[in-house]
């Protein structure tokens, strides 16, 4: 019995403990189960994104398309490789940018790299504004103070089967409003009151991959309260092209820029410099031309380049125009021979599908000349270059269909007096073709790296442009890169004249300077001594001078000849003949007045240009770019005699009423009114030019360095006396002169109220001239003139009083 009781007690104590132990164990197991790591999810396989239903395009990256979802398959070997991302407007709405933006316009160019970080692929912008040799300690500081911005971070979706490439989805990136690659800059957004990108009306049009580039076309639609056209839609739709181009790993040796020879350029700040400051460096933009046979090239023989510059014509180019476009490119081949290269540049007709099924105008390996069906009257010569070296990688020249109409009109207006074949709306096909050929040559020049050289037309004596022998050999300007389109100087009776521009001696000089291979030089700096010598050997010859269009009257757009007064005298003389015959050459032939109206408007523009060339002499300063080793000054004011001669010419040919422009047989057939306002706008433009603050300040400064200068106070007095010449006599003032005289007073008021420095002499002489004018008109209003003239003088006096004493 005792044994049984003992057993029962042991059992009673042991069972709860075991149960409790089991309970504790269960809780522990449960707790352990809760904190146990979940099994990792495996990434979707490659076949999830790339399978039999996927449309794939091989090239720089494999691009995969799954019903509008786009994947980039990025080779890991391409991480950190530098690529150029170029954003262009492919198609634009009418009126965008006020008509000054064209389809094909480049909006942004930036160097990018793809970089792996954790489980992301980063697209980063790499800047070359600041550089340093990566072997120097300062390189770390340059990197630290120029942190590269991240445009976008992509999730890695998967890897290809052999793990040599990653897959990222780029759909959202290219269908979102990413500011870094937007073709609608902030100032357009503000102007057109853009509210947002509408994702329901925006999409990726296409993505195509080529061996060295990827081309993305995006269609973006924005909600905009004030669109440039179709205002009732409150919408802007724009088509954007993104080009991503692999930059060469074998960098071209750059050539140091020199402003004495015209080249587009790229620049950066080099912190590797041994100077006591960061060294700003600038290199010219040019194609990479390497001779096939270096030894023969060094001996002075003509040698073909390893890779010539080739342009392909757009298949959309009309058949009848193709030969002229091709000639416009091929004409440069002779110029490159000056630099030692034969067959260096050429144009080719586009291959057929059978000849090259892979050919595409978007492929960066092919430069092209696009023919655009547009009412725009223009042509452009853009190119894409490596920002590290200036190497031009590709170029797409654009010709707009209506551009030939501008050339036909100007051919008639500027040469019609001396050139019988220009006196028609149906310009002979060969002459139109020659004009097109020269426009293409001009745009090719831009694509080769050459900017406008407006000083080249000043190299030739005016009377030489009336010589058939001279113009046939030398053309009408020293370069095709000037805006010297036609010979408007040649007079009726001059024989065998060349009227259309052509390539000139400066083009040969500039191409040789920029493209000749100096095989012995291993660094850009080693070339400089030779390049300097080439410039200085020709420094005294105006044919080889480069000049930019700013304050220099010898570098004006559309001018020809080395004497603006003489050239414009010939030009106006010819224009008077044209104006007299304009109805016979237009409306009398077509039996409508549309062409007469268009050409009369453009004739006023031509007259205004001739006047503007002479205005440029007033307060003008010649700029002769030099290095200190050369003799003479860089800046030289126009002589007092030339400025006074120009002022007399302007009074006679611009500010005096030009009755020859007021032919009733034209005006009474093209508009019911507006003649006086139109003339005032043109005269007022010249007035504002002469009385611009910057010009007046230049004249004040010129008096410091040139004792015998044309003083600003004398210029304003001469201008006032000429414009108000009737006030010195008993003469009535016609409506055109009344308008001009009031415009003079308004312009003087504008100067008084401007933000020019208060300590400047400008306000002093303006006040003095207005007081003199007040005295002059006070006497004139009492003379025996007609009622309108009296009212006009009283009005002028009231204006002057308000300016001098606004209280």
pLDDT at 146: 55
* pLDDT tens digits along 642-688: 999 999 999 999 999 999 999 889 999 998 888 888 999 999 999 99
* pLDDT tens digits along 341-393: 999 999 998 888 888 887 777 777 888 888 776 666 677 778 889 988 999 99
pLDDT at 806: 83
Give the least confident one: 105-109, 295-299, 452-456, 624-628: 105-109
More confident residue, 806 or 151: 151
Closest CA to 723 of 777, 765, 661: 777
> Percent of the chain, pLDDT > 90?
71
pLDDT at 373: 65
pLDDT at 25: 47
- H helix intervals, 521-590: 524-537, 564-585, 587-590
| Domain extent for 139 | 57-246
- DSSP letter string, 574-599: HHHHHHHHHHHHTHHHHSSSHHHHHH
Cα→Cα distances 609→262, 528, 567, 572, 604, Å: 24, 39, 12, 10, 9
Q: What is the mean pLDDT of residues 446-461?
A: 95
Residue 475 lies in a domain: no
Residue 191 lies in a domain: yes
pLDDT at 314: 86
- Give yes or no for a contact between 129 and 268, defined as CB atoms under 8 angstroms apart: yes
Domain count of the fold of the chain: 1
Closest CA to 656 of 665, 648, 668: 648
H/E run at residue 379: strand 379-380
pLDDT at 12: 45
pTM: 0.86
Q: Which residue has the tokens 């973006």?
A: 220
pLDDT at 583: 95
* pLDDT tens digits along 57-108: 999 999 999 999 999 999 999 999 999 998 988 887 888 877 667 666 778 8
Residue 163 lies in a domain: yes
Residue 794 lies in a domain: no
Residue 768 lies in a domain: no
Burial class (CB in 10 A: 0-12, 13-18, 19+), 488: buried
Residue 293 lies in a domain: no
Our CA angle for 263, 266, 272, nearest 5°, is 130
Residue 664 lies in a domain: no
pLDDT at 24: 46
Mean pLDDT across the chain:
88
Residue 21 lies in a domain: no
> Percent of the chain, pLDDT > 70?
89
* pLDDT tens digits along 253-278: 999 999 999 999 988 665 455 554 45
Give the least confident one: 31-40, 162-171, 307-316: 31-40
pLDDT of 462 higher than 70: yes
* pLDDT tens digits along 392-431: 999 888 887 677 888 899 999 999 999 999 999 999 999 9
């Amino acid at each position: 019995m005792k044994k049984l009781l003992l057993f029962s007690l042991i059992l009673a104590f042991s069972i709860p403990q075991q149960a409790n132990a089991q309970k504790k164990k269960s809780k522990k197991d449960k707790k352990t189960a809760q904190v146990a790591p979940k099994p990792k999810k495996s990434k979707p396989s490659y076949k999830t994104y790339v399978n039999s239903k996927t449309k794939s395009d091989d090239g720089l990256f494999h691009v995969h398309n799954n019903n509008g979802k786009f994947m980039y398959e990025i080779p890991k070997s391409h991480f950190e490789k530098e690529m150029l991302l170029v954003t262009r407007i492919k198609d634009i709405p009418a009126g965008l940018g006020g008509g000054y933006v064209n389809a094909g316009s480049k909006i942004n160019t930036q160097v990018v790299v793809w970089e792996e970080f954790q489980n992301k692929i980063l697209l980063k912008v790499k800047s070359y504004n600041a550089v340093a040799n990566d072997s120097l300690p300062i390189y770390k500081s340059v990197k630290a103070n120029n942190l590269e911005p991240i445009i976008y971070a992509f999730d890695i979706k998967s890897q290809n089967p052999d793990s040599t490439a990653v897959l990222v989805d780029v759909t959202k990136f290219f269908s979102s409003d990413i500011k870094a690659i937007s073709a609608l800059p902030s100032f357009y957004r503000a102007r057109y009151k853009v509210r947002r990108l509408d994702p329901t009306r925006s999409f990726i049009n296409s993505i195509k991959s080529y061996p060295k580039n990827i081309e993305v076309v995006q269609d973006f639609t924005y909600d905009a309260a004030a669109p440039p056209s179709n205002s009732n839609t409150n919408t802007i739709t724009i088509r954007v092209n993104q080009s991503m181009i692999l930059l060469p790993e074998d960098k071209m040796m750059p050539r140091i820029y020199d402003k004495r020879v015209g080249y587009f350029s790229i620049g950066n700040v080099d912190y590797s410099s041994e100077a006591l400051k960061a060294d700003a460096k600038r290199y010219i933009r040019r194609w990479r031309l390497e001779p096939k046979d270096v030894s023969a090239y060094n001996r002075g023989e003509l040698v073909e380049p390893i890779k010539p510059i080739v342009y392909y014509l757009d298949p959309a180019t009309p058949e009848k125009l193709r030969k002229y476009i091709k000639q416009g490119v091929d004409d440069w081949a002779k110029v490159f021979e000056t630099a030692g290269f034969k067959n260096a540049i050429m144009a080719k007709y586009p291959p057929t599908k059978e000849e090259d099924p892979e050919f595409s105008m978007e492929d960066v390996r092919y430069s092209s000349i696009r023919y655009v069906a547009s009412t725009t009257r223009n042509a452009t010569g853009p190119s894409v270059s490596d920002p590290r070296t200036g190497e031009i990688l590709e170029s797409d020249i654009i010709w707009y269909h209506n551009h030939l109409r501008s050339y036909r009109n100007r051919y008639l207006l500027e040469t019609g007096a001396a050139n019988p074949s220009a006196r028609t709306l149906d310009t002979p096909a060969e002459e139109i073709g020659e004009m097109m050929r020269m426009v293409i040559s001009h745009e090719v020049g831009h694509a080769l790296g050459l900017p406008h050289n407006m000083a080249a037309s000043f190299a030739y004596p005016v009377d030489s442009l009336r010589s058939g022998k001279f113009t046939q050999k030398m053309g009408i300007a020293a370069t095709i890169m000037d805006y010297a389109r036609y010979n408007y100087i040649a007079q009726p009776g001059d024989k065998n004249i060349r009227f259309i521009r052509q390539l000139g001696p400066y083009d040969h000089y500039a191409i040789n300077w920029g493209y000749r291979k100096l095989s012995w030089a291993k660094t850009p700096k080693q070339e400089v001594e030779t390049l300097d010598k080439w410039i200085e050997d020709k420094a005294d010859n105006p044919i080889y001078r480069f000049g930019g269009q700013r304050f220099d009257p010898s570098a004006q757009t559309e001018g020809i000849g080395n004497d603006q007064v003489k050239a414009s005298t010939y030009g106006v003389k010819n224009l008077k003949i044209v104006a007299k015959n304009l109805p016979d050459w237009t409306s009398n032939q077509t039996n409508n007045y549309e062409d007469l109206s268009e050409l009369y408007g453009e004739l006023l523009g031509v007259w205004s240009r001739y006047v503007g060339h002479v205005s440029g002499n007033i307060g003008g300063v010649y700029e002769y770019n030099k290095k200190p080793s050369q003799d003479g000054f860089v800046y030289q004011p126009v002589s007092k005699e030339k400025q006074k001669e120009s002022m007399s010419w302007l009074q006679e040919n611009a500010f005096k009423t030009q009755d020859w422009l007021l032919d009733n047989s034209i005006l009474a057939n093209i508009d019911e009114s507006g003649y006086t306002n139109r003339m005032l706008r043109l005269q007022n433009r010249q007035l504002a030019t002469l009385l611009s603050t910057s010009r007046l300040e230049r004249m004040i400064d010129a008096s410091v360095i040139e004792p015998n200068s044309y003083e600003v106070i004398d210029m304003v007095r001469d201008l006032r006396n000429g414009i108000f010449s009737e006030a010195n006599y008993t003469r009535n003032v016609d409506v055109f002169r009344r308008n001009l005289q009031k415009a003079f007073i308004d312009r003087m008021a504008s100067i008084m109220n401007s933000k020019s420095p208060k300590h400047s002499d400008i306000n002093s002489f303006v006040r003095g001239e207005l007081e003199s004018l007040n005295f002059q008109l006070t006497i004139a209003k009492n003379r025996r003139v007609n009622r309108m003239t009296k009212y006009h003088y009283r009005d002028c006096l009231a204006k002057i009083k308000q300016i001098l004493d606004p209280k």
